[in-house]
Amino acid sequence: DARVTQTPRHKVTEMGQEVTMRCQPILGHNTVFWYRQTMMQGLELLAYFRNRAPLDDSGMPKDRFSAEMPDATLATLKIQPSEPRDSAVYFCASGLAEGTRRYEQYFGPGTRLTVT
């Protein structure tokens, strides 16, 4: 049963520190999405990639957030410097952009980030 994996699962850091979250999409999937989940805002789309190319990152605060896909098996989301308002659960999801299963997205277990 193929699944999206994310590391770390939990991260506690102090304000101003750099945070890096990693995601391994399901093998063969060509789209990757980063979401942030909070009680107030629900699931917000931060950025997404297709075939490792960034398509849209308009949901991210550009001055502190960055997302990359160094290769097909790794996506990263970085926050530098982190702030308390960044505390949330960050989910990665992957999917296929074509065929009968297009649009389907499968989520990883999330990274729970706490910035003190």
Pairing of strands 31-38, 53-56: unpaired
Taking CB under 8 A as the rule, does residue 91 contact other proteins? yes
* Smallest distance from other proteins to CB 48, Å: 6
Taking CB under 8 A as the rule, does residue 12 contact other proteins? no
Dihedral angle, C-alpha 79, 82, 88, 93, nearest 10 °: 0
Taking CB under 8 A as the rule, does residue 90 contact other proteins? no
Q: Is the dihedral of CA 85, 80, 91, 101 positive or negative?
A: positive
Q: Which residues are at the interface with other proteins (CB under 8 A)?
A: 33, 42-43, 45, 48, 50, 55-56, 91, 97, 102-110
